[in-house]
Structure 1
Amino acid sequence: MKHIIILGAGQVGQSLAEALSADGIDITVVDYRAEMLAELEDRFDIKTVHGFAAHPSVLEAAGAQDASMLIAVTNSDETNMVACQVASTLFNIETKIARVRARDYHETPALFAQDAMPVDMLISPEAIVTSHIQRLIEHPGSLQVLEFAEGRVSLVGVRAYYGGPLVGHELKNLQNDMPGIQTRVAAIFRKDRSIQPDGSTVIEADDEVFFVAAKKNIRAVTSELRKLEKPYKRIMVAGGGNIGERLAETLSKRYRVKVIERDSERADHLARTLPSNVLVLHGDSSDDRFLESINVEHSDVFCAVTNDDQANIFAGMLAKRWGVRKVMSLINRPSYVDLLQSGTIDVAISPQQATIGALLARVREGGTATVHALRRGAAEAIETVVNGDARTSQVVSRRIDEIDFPEGTRVGAVVRGEEVIIPHRDTVIEAGDHVILFVTDRRKVKQVQRLFQPTALFF
Structure 2
Amino acid sequence: MKIIILGSGQVGETLAKNLVGENNDITVVDIDVSRLRQLQDKFDLRVVQGQGSYPRVLREAGAEDADMLVAVTNSDETNMIACQIAYLLFKTPNRIARIRSPEYVREVDKLFQPTGIVIDHLISPEQLVIDYIYKLIEYPGALQVVNFAEGKVSIVAVKAQYGGALVGNDLASLRERAPHIDTRIAAIFRQNQPIRPQGSTVIEAGDEVFFIVASQHIRTVMSELQRPEKPYTRIMIVGGGNVGSGLALKLENDYKVKLIESNLSRSEELAEILHKTTVYYGDASDQELLAEEHIDQVDVFITLTNNDEVNIMSAMLAKHMGAKKAMVLIQRNAYVDLVQNNTIDIVVSPQQATISALLGHVRKADIVSVSSLRRGIAEAIEAIAHGDKSTSKVIGRTVEKIELPPGTTIGAIVRGDEVIIANSHFIIEQGDHVIMFITDKKFIPAVEKLFQPSPFFL
Class of the TM-score when normalised by the shorter of the 2 chains = over 0.9
Where 2:150 maps in the other structure, the secondary structure is helix
- Distance in 2, matches of 1:136 and 1:452, equals 31
- Distance in 1, matches of 2:337 and 2:369, equals 24
Q: CA deviation at 1:293?
A: 2.6
Q: Which residue of 2 aligns with 1:116?
A: 116
- Distance in 2, matches of 1:168 and 1:223, equals 14
Residue identity opposite 1:436 in structure 2: I
Mapping of residues 166-185 of structure 1, within 5 Å: 166-185=166-185
Q: CA deviation at 1:226?
A: 0.6
Mapping of residues 386-405 of structure 1, within 5 Å: 386-405=385-404
Where 1:237 maps in the other structure, the secondary structure is strand
Q: Which residue of 1 aligns with 2:287?
A: 288
Matched, 1:349 2:341: no
Matched, 1:194 2:194: yes
Where 2:375 maps in the other structure, the secondary structure is helix
Check whether the contact 2:253–2:276 (CA below 8 A) recurs between aligned residues. no
Q: Which residue of 1 aligns with 2:231?
A: 231
- Distance in 2, matches of 1:60 and 1:402, equals 47
Matched, 1:125 2:125: yes
Q: Which residue of 2 aligns with 1:424?
A: 423
Q: CA deviation at 1:215?
A: 1.4
Q: CA deviation at 1:358?
A: 1.1
Q: CA deviation at 1:286?
A: 2.5
Greater mean alpha carbon deviation, residues 324-333 or residues 392-401: 324-333
Residue identity opposite 2:27 in structure 1: T
Residue identity opposite 1:238 in structure 2: V
Where 1:88 maps in the other structure, the secondary structure is helix
Where 2:8 maps in the other structure, the secondary structure is coil
Runs of 4+ with deviation above 6 angstroms = none
Check whether the contact 2:235–2:301 (CA below 8 A) recurs between aligned residues. yes
Where 1:377 maps in the other structure, the secondary structure is coil
Where 1:231 maps in the other structure, the secondary structure is coil
Q: Which residue of 2 aligns with 1:158?
A: 158
Q: CA deviation at 1:382?
A: 0.5
Where do 5+ consecutive residues of structure 2 fail to align?
Answer: none
- Distance in 2, matches of 1:254 and 1:20, equals 40
Per-residue deviation, residues 90-123 of structure 1 (Å, max 9, x unmatched): 1111111111111121222222121111111111
Where do 5+ consecutive residues of structure 1 fail to align?
Answer: none
Check whether the contact 2:96–2:121 (CA below 8 A) recurs between aligned residues. yes
Check whether the contact 2:412–2:434 (CA below 8 A) recurs between aligned residues. yes
Q: Which residue of 1 aligns with 2:144?
A: 144
Residue identity opposite 1:214 in structure 2: A
Q: Which residue of 1 aligns with 2:2?
A: 3
Q: Which residue of 2 aligns with 1:441?
A: 440
Check whether the contact 2:6–2:12 (CA below 8 A) recurs between aligned residues. yes
- Distance in 2, matches of 1:219 and 1:347, equals 18
Per-residue deviation, residues 362-402 of structure 1 (Å, max 9, x unmatched): 11121100100011111000000110100000010101111
Per-residue deviation, residues 394-452 of structure 1 (Å, max 9, x unmatched): 01010111111001001111111111111111111111110110000011111000011
TM-score by length of 2: 0.98
- Distance in 1, matches of 2:437 and 2:153, equals 13
Q: CA deviation at 1:194?
A: 0.4
- Distance in 1, matches of 2:194 and 2:291, equals 41
Residue identity opposite 1:225 in structure 2: L
- Alpha-carbon RMSD across the aligned residues, in angstroms, is 0.9
Give the aligned length.
457
Where 2:180 maps in the other structure, the secondary structure is coil
Q: Which residue of 2 aligns with 1:208?
A: 208
Residue identity opposite 1:334 in structure 2: N
- Distance in 1, matches of 2:116 and 2:179, equals 55
- Distance in 1, matches of 2:436 and 2:343, equals 31
Matched, 1:218 2:223: no
- Distance in 2, matches of 1:409 and 1:116, equals 42
Q: CA deviation at 1:223?
A: 0.8
